[in-house]
Structure 1
């Protein structure tokens, strides 16, 4: 049994490294989802499914240094640390909302590099928002696929407003 567990841990760590997506505590923040695109890193706070920051790793250090009891013999206490130049960092937690109802984090896909959130209505139906970060011509884009919006509804992400289902792209500057 012990060897099976070690084999599973070894396989899963290789899978995460290849997929470039993982969840961890990062920079003293819990439940962070990180997508890696070569030297570019995008982090989300999964408490609300909100964008946290985008940074680029330097040539001298990896974008995320995995330290702590889970990753090495660093003992209890240390946690992963991000390294590199922060390009964009959100100081507020901008969350999709429908009036007073806020979106909640649901899941992520490490293969597709997507984050899924839902806004639940009082009748148990929902609006689904799937975000996929992307880099086009050296620029960071946040792509959203929105479904479940009903006629006359509008959802907001800070000052950005959407009133129809479909795909939307925001360029992050």
Structure 2
């Protein structure tokens, strides 16, 4: 039984290493959430829960190099660095909004690889947006589950507009 437990722990740590989710400072940016899908990496800025970039690791280097005092005693100052081919990088924040009210990052699930944001209304109610990145046939999709929208309300993600609760999928190019 003891050996079975060790085998399960070894296998699960390998799976997590290949398919992880973690928060760190990355490329001199604070509070970054990274989802790893084998060689594909998706990063979000957790200040507003906004998509930042998508890159693919090369065969020569890992997608994220963990350097710095916390990771490898590299001394104070160095931070993790992304490596690989950048496929998409947003220079401005991709933030959901309801008029002038912007979404705020709430949490993430490392198991489901989801990011949750909320837009708070002045009456203390909220609109909840759960995002889950996905790869299908070599393409990157952002799946959203929206709840809490009231009749007649519209939320925006840049020029994209949503006026009803439910699931929405956007392909990232």
Following TM superposition, by how much is the alpha carbon of 1:4 offset from its aligned partner in structure 2, in angstroms? 22
Taking a change above 3 Å as real, the CA distance of residues 137 and 111 of structure 1, as seen in their structure-2 partners, is: same
1:2 corresponding residue in structure 2: 2
Native 8 Å contact 2:96 2:157 kept in 1: yes
Following TM superposition, by how much is the alpha carbon of 1:73 offset from its aligned partner in structure 2, in angstroms? 1.2
Taking a change above 3 Å as real, the CA distance of residues 103 and 10 of structure 1, as seen in their structure-2 partners, is: farther
Q: CA RMSD in A?
A: 4.0
Following TM superposition, by how much is the alpha carbon of 1:60 offset from its aligned partner in structure 2, in angstroms? 0.3
SS at match of 1:151: coil
Native 8 Å contact 2:19 2:38 kept in 1: no
Following TM superposition, by how much is the alpha carbon of 1:3 offset from its aligned partner in structure 2, in angstroms? 22
Deviations along 1:31-57, one digit per CA (max 9) or x if unpaired, are 000000000000000000000000000
Native 8 Å contact 1:63 1:82 kept in 2: yes
Native 8 Å contact 2:146 2:167 kept in 1: yes
Native 8 Å contact 1:52 1:93 kept in 2: yes
Taking a change above 3 Å as real, the CA distance of residues 106 and 8 of structure 1, as seen in their structure-2 partners, is: farther
Following TM superposition, by how much is the alpha carbon of 1:138 offset from its aligned partner in structure 2, in angstroms? 0.3
Runs of 4+ in 1 over 6 A off after TM superposition: 1-15
Taking a change above 3 Å as real, the CA distance of residues 16 and 79 of structure 1, as seen in their structure-2 partners, is: farther
Native 8 Å contact 2:144 2:167 kept in 1: yes
Normalising by structure 2, we get a TM-score of 0.91
Taking a change above 3 Å as real, the CA distance of residues 90 and 67 of structure 1, as seen in their structure-2 partners, is: same
Normalising by structure 1, we get a TM-score of 0.91
SS at match of 2:31: strand
